[in-house]
Amino acid sequence: MALRCGLIGGRLIHSYSPQIHAKLGDYEYKLYELREDEVGPFLKSGCFDGLNVTIPYKKTVVPFLDELSEDAARLGSVNTVIRRSDGTLYGDNTDIFGALKLLELSGAGVAGKKVLVLGSGGTGVTFMDAVGKLGGIAVNISRKGEDNYENLDRHIDAEIVMNATPVGMYPDTGKSPVDLDLLPNVKCVLDAIYNPAATELLLQARKRGIKALNGLCMLVAQALRSSELFTGKKLPDNIIPEVTEKIAAEMYGYIPDTVGIGRAWAAPRPENKLNFLVINGPNLNMLGIREPEVYGKAGYKALLEFIRKSADEAGVNIRCFQSNHEGAIVDEIQGAYGNTDGIIINPAAYTHTSVAILDALKAVSIPAVEVHISDVSSREPFRQISYAGMACIKTFAGMGFEGYRQAIKHLKQYLTETTEKAYNS
């Protein structure tokens, strides 16, 4: 029977771990999105042979483990869990190997050089440890620490910058944690982020002719070490560039020089955007005809145009679906699992009656925002109940079409902030 492996974390919709592990070993690899209170029971369930752990649970899992590797104990962080034959759980940290491989691939030669590590979260701790192992002088830069972004002039002699913050990560691209003009002696910039392929920080470096690498090879390297722990079989380190190249081609549509391969294939596709699904319930296709004094005179086609324009303004991808049938809406919600970042739903009449739609939203656990064109709170008493709203993070009602625009903006902001919090945990 194939080994049962996978990844646990808080939000995994964009994870490339299954694709990476498929190139490293012959075992099952599934994604498990868990709430924090589900982590312990899942680990105790015995339904896996090996797991990777990602944000925000790398520290959460530690109390549930029977033994830690030296690296995991030193870093206080676990990203790989093995269920041994006697049922006990062993925790290891392969992120440190990934960080070392990133530094090796950069060719920067860390020994004796000052390295600024941006960010004090788990990735920052790992970078600090890796730099120390290689004989570098690691300085942690954080927002509130002794060494911070306001006194970078103290480190004008720094030669390497390593970003362990989420600044510049999709979907909140176009930002950089530092201005490289303040660090004129930097000769190499490494970023743990790999989506987008080139963050604003890496673009700055490239414009200055500075070596710039993203974190994709680090991701592949830590996966290789995890795969070895899963299977007990040694893999050659020299396959890391090969696997990184293949994953880069799948992720980006080309091989950017920021992954360290040094050549490109095709023209890059547009940067990834958040994918939102807009679901409109029964009778909304009759807009402009149905009760215009309540819903307005603009038709459904006008609503679709407004939604698409709002999505373009927000810089997100949008897909719209409308049905007068409860089961079709449930099927659409279920079909969104694994390929949709957020749902905007106007359940219309099903708002007040459909437990099935509520259960579907809860089942997929995709962040959702409820929208109503009319002010339901001022209408008939039965419209005061919203089952779907019980599974939504926010409701916009009584704003007409504008409610959809606000829902798109709110959902994007929510996802961006949630990603940043998880990355820093």
Distance between CA atoms of residues 242 and 88, nearest Å: 34
Residue tagged 């970023």 (tokens): 191
Regarding beta strands 89-92 and 160-163, do their DSSP bridges make them parallel or antiparallel, or are they unpaired?
Answer: unpaired
Q: Which two tokens stand for residue 273?
A: 């955007």
Q: What residues have CB less than 8 Å from 26, skipping those under 6 apart?
A: 2
What is the C-alpha to C-alpha distance for residues 76 and 128, in angstroms, rounded to an integer?
13
User: Rounded CA gap, 239 and 73, in Å?
Assistant: 28
Report how far residue 97's alpha carbon sits from residue 361's, in angstroms, rounded to the nearest whole number.
39
The rounded distance, in Å, linking the Cα atoms of 338 and 104 is 34
Comparing CA positions, the residue from 194, 226, 255 lying closest to residue 24 is 226
SS3 assignment for 236-257: CHHHHHHHHHHHHHHHHCCCCH
Residue 162 corresponds to which tokens in the numbers above?
A: 């390593």
Note if 295 is an active site residue: yes
Q: The tokens of 258 are what?
A: 């920021």
Helix (H, G, I), strand (E, B) or coil at 17: helix
Q: Determine which helix (DSSP H) or strand (DSSP E) holds 369, and give its type and residue range.
A: strand 368-372
- Amino acid symbol at 202: L
Catalytic residue among 21, 155, 194, 372: 372
3-state DSSP helix/strand/coil percent for the chain, to nearest 5? Answer: 40, 20, 40
Considering 194, 295, 300, 423, which one is annotated as catalytic? 295
Give the residue numbers annotated as catalytic, written as ranges.
Answer: 295, 372
